[in-house]
Chain A
Amino acid sequence: MDFLTVSNVHHTYFSKKAVTEALSNIHLSIEKGEFVSFIGPSGCGKTTLLSIIAGLFEPTVGSVKIEGQEVFGNDSLSIGYMLQQDYLFPWKTIEENITLGLKLQNKEKEDQLLASKLLNDVGLPTIEKKYPRELSGGMRQRVALARTLAVDPKILLLDEPFSALDYQSKLKLEDLVSKMLKEYGKTAILVTHDIGEAIAMSDRIFLFSPRPGRLYRTFEVPEEIRKLTPFEARGHSSYSSLFQIIWKELESLEQQ
């Protein structure tokens, strides 16, 4: 059975002046442990779709289910969401930031151990008592990853989490995220503008067309790239041919 199913989702934004159709007739399904990317020109509704999958709001029509459970208004379902910036709480220590999700869900017991284990895993041991402002952008985003993983989410939703970083930090973080997700056996959806990033990290890529957002094409990433780390994948020969194909599709979408 599919792990995540999005069926017949339409979403429309209403404002005083306008009615904007953001998503139209979206059907897709993702398997457990799979890493998929949503790409597309701006205005294709990919972030809207991600928010709907996160259960942040209800789609106008349609439903999103994880393991058969409706996501919207379901408090028992835990979802990890990473934003473009880390949004660590500046008045909390790193440890408090990481264990925030557990605290909110009243599962505080093994907090401290978990925090230091996760920090170790993301390569930042012994910074529990520091404050976010003492860390660099890349380090903060790694802490945000640890915070997201702390609640043991069923699925990770990554909303361009690498886009605000410098190139080197971005490549390193891609490798780290990819490794951690494999280790923890997590399913993940990445929203990105960067075709290369999508290819390097994903098993499948969903390309969306804009106004209203529709699922335009799905690409399978070849097996030989999937096995590699994102950094190695960028150097593989199949990488550039897939890049060219997606690039052309994206170009043609933008000209429409």
Chain B
Amino acid sequence: MNNNKLHEQFIQSLVKEKRWVKFYQLLILVAFFAMWEIASNLRWIDPLIFSSPSKVYTLFINNVADGTLFVHISYTLFETVLGFIIGTLLGTILAAVLWWSPFLSKVLDPYLVILNAMPKVALGPILIVAMGPGMGSIITMGAIISVIISTIVIYTSFRNVDANYLKVLQTFNASRAQMFKEAVLPASFPTIISTLKVNVGLSWVGVIVGEFLVSSKGLGYLIIYGFQVFNFNLVLMSLVIIAVFATIMYQLVELLEKKLIKNG
């Protein structure tokens, strides 16, 4: 047998495996919704609380038809994406400042620990009073929840960049800004990406909680409203939509990862 043929077989086995993985992934999804529907219809679970896929779907179609759902989704999505970007960006900038000044980082160290340990959502009421019950305070919630942990993780990665890379740059008489740009930042891209992945989840938490507290629009509002009027179809529909959009955001981050880290 020649190598070409063997290689072809190898490729085929890879394709085959991938197909099976996809098949089982789909199977789990279908089985989950099927079981949910069946369990709800046969009253194994309380349909009033757990609803059912068919009811959620009907509600979804109705809300799409009357155009209300779109407003809620776009509100929450806008807040989350903005909170996510601000949180990560601010975290990266803060990490850069700490890297720039080792003295400052020593001074601020205990405060970072305290801020990180504190439950950020507890700041919600204060934010809302201070900034007014609008989009501003909700976006701030989305950002504040991820900014400190991003700072800590990214700063640690900045510090762990192999000192010999910096030595190479130093022999070229590089300035500290050049060292940051040429070595420290690019070497930390993998860490920044994984921070982004974590922050996708965190910023959803911040925004939904923010909407619980104050909003009259958005998916968080729909959940809390559904809860108040005991319409759990609405709650579950919102949850499914959140799951879908959170996944899309995650996939976008992975796309960014592929673009940014070409060289493994």
Contacts and interface: CB of A to CB of B under 8 A. Distances in A.
Contact of B165 (A78, A80, A89): A89
A83 B168 contact: yes
Interface in B174-229: 174, 178, 182-183, 186-187, 189
A75 interface: yes
**Which of B172, B187, B189, B264: most chain A Cβ within 10 A?**
B172
B171 A105 contact: no
B172 A89 contact: no
A174 B173 CA distance: 27
Contacts of B169: 100, 104
Contacts of A75: 173
Contacts of A78: 172-173
A133 B261 CA distance: 13
A87 B164 contact: yes
Contact of A87 (B165, B173, B178, B189): B165
B167 A83 contact: yes
A interface majority secondary structure: loop
Interface string A147-167: 000010000010000000000
A184 B133 CA distance: 71
What bracket does the count of chain A residues touching chain B fall in? 20 to 34
B183 A89 contact: yes
Contact of A81 (B167, B186, B263): B167
Nearest to B174: A104
Contacts of A151: 172
Interface residues of B, number: 21
B170 interface: yes
B162 interface: yes
A206 interface: no
A100 B186 contact: no
Interface in A70-109: 75, 78-81, 83, 85, 87, 89-91, 100-101, 104-105
A88 to B, nearest CB: 9
B158 to A, nearest CB: 15
B interface majority secondary structure: helix
A79 B171 CA distance: 6
Contacts of B187: 91
Nearest to A80: B171
Contacts of B171: 54, 56, 79-81, 157
A71 B226 CA distance: 73
B263 A131 contact: yes
B260 to A, nearest CB: 9
Contacts of A133: 263-264
Contacts of B170: 56
Given A87-B162, A90-B263, A56 B167 contact: yes
Nearest to A84: B164
A105 B170 CA distance: 12
Interface in B223-244: none
Interface of B: 162, 164-165, 167-174, 178, 182-183, 186-187, 189, 261-264
Given A89-B186, A91-B263, A101-B172, 8 more contacts: A54-B171, A83-B167, A87-B168, A91-B187, A91-B261, A100-B169, A104-B173, A157-B171
Interface of A: 54, 56, 75, 78-81, 83, 85, 87, 89-91, 100-101, 104-105, 131, 133, 151, 157
18 contacts: A54-B171, A56-B167, A56-B170, A78-B173, A81-B168, A81-B171, A87-B162, A87-B165, A87-B167, A89-B183, A89-B186, A91-B189, A91-B261, A100-B169, A104-B169, A104-B178, A104-B182, A105-B173
